[in-house]
Amino acid sequence: MTLTNNLVVLTGATGFVGSSTLVFLLQAGYHVRAIVRAEGQIQSVLARASIQELKPGPRLSFAVIPSITAAGALDDAMAGATHVVHTASPRAAGGGKSVVPPEEQVRHFYEPAVAGTLNILDAAAKAGTVRRVVITSSIFALAPLAQLQGEEEPPTEPVTARDRAPETPPTRAPWPSDLAAYAQSQVSALLETEAWLAHGCRPRPPAFDVVHLHPGVALGPAAGATRAPEVMRGGANSLLFGLLLGGAGSGSSSIPPTIGAAVDVRDIARAHVAALHPQVPGGRGYILARPVVWQDLVGVAQRLFPDRFASGFFVAGGRVRTVQVPFDTGDAEAALGFKLSPLDDAVRDALGQYFALRAAGEAAP
């Protein structure tokens, strides 16, 4: 592809996955139009060290859209786009916490995931120039949550990107937890996208195809972080820090059993960029996950940061049970053209970023 003639519309550029994806898109040479909710977020993105180092200049532009769920909200922003990367979707808080009131679950999780995705598809179809849409989904869209949380026996065969978790529609809300609400939003967004492609894009088929990426829980440095606490809140970093700080408890953990499928956030970003290439088969999904035993990451941190344990800053007393579910990721690595990184790298760089930002904050006047 001649990247100078390619414009990627990116949603979720201020999120954990979207922030890294923006960096990888610019590194690859794409022109990017980033969707943000407010004018103030533009300067926040431009002020990131990871963006300033790339000196994107006119290759990075912005569109301010307060709500991607509003009908037609994305039509103007999609003008001239050749590709779309849709990472914007509310995530459940890490560590198994439920912070969204039950009566707000549909508005907070379901509507942005489903209506936002359908608006993306509608706007891309109206533009007429889009060739591919890449959507961040989740492994939670592929297998029953009860299996992923260890409440039911895991499947005997590896979960594939062709599998679908059962749908519990919003008429059955509230769901029992934020994670359950998030999982259902991902199931419905995937099914609604497939229905749109099959029937909802008439009178004519769209000029683009769709690729779904299904990552496990994301771990690693936060490209958009400017303060140390922001690193702790990114993806599964909250679980990692909970284990290392003893917040997961010892025998009385408040963290529920957690799926043993994780991925470096930078691999998710790399996959979004790779999926834009026409040689990657479209009209299908790809699972991005490496098996992990969460307790083992404590040992990784001990090896990489022994001084932090010696000082008592980190402890090795946190406990959480890992739920092992097999996932088939072989076709993803073959199609996308790279192997997923060792999770040791994600641990090293997330903790390293945390301490670097912490030191910078302590040294600030």
CATH number assigned to the domain comprising residue 175: 3.40.50.720
Q: Which residues pair with 8 in a beta bridge?
A: 32, 83
Burial class of residue 102, CB neighbours in 10 A (0-12, 13-18, 19+): middle
Asked if residue 48 is part of any domain, the answer here is: yes
Q: Please state whether the peptide bond connecting residue 203 to the residue before it is cis, i.e. omega within 30 degrees of 0.
A: yes
Tell how strand 290-291 and strand 261-264 pair up. Answer: antiparallel
Backbone angles phi, psi at 318, to 5 degrees: -70, 145
Asked if residue 99 is part of any domain, the answer here is: yes
Residues 145-162 have pLDDT tens digits of 999 999 999 998 999 999
Q: Which helix (H) or strand (E) holds 21?
A: helix 16-27
> 308 with 314: CB under 8 angstroms?
yes
Beta carbons within 8 Å of 40's beta carbon, 6+ residues apart: none
Residues 161-184 have pLDDT tens digits of 999 999 998 888 899 999 999 999
Question: In total, how many domains does the chain have?
Answer: 1
Asked if residue 185 is part of any domain, the answer here is: yes
Residues 65-105 have pLDDT tens digits of 999 999 999 999 999 999 999 999 888 876 667 789 999 99
Asked if residue 244 is part of any domain, the answer here is: no
**Nearest-CA neighbor of 2 among 276, 212, 337?**
276
Asked if residue 174 is part of any domain, the answer here is: yes
Backbone angles phi, psi at 292, to 5 degrees: -150, 145
> What does the DSSP assignment read for 22-64?
HHHHHHTT-EEEEEESSTHHHHHHHT-HHHHTT--GGGEEEEE
Asked if residue 304 is part of any domain, the answer here is: no
Distance, CA of 237 to CA of 215 (rounded, Å):
15
H helix count then E strand count, the chain? 14, 12
Mean pLDDT, to the nearest integer, of 218-232?
94
- The mean pLDDT of the chain is 92
Other Cβ atoms within 10 Å of 161 Cβ, number: 22
Structural domain harbouring 80: 7-224+264-289+326-338
Asked if residue 282 is part of any domain, the answer here is: yes
Helices 111-127 and 178-195: angle between axes, nearest 10 degrees: 30
Asked if residue 23 is part of any domain, the answer here is: yes
Residues 267-300 have pLDDT tens digits of 999 999 999 999 999 999 999 999 999 999 999 9
Residues 13-37 have pLDDT tens digits of 999 999 999 999 999 999 999 999 9
Q: pTM score, two decimals?
A: 0.94
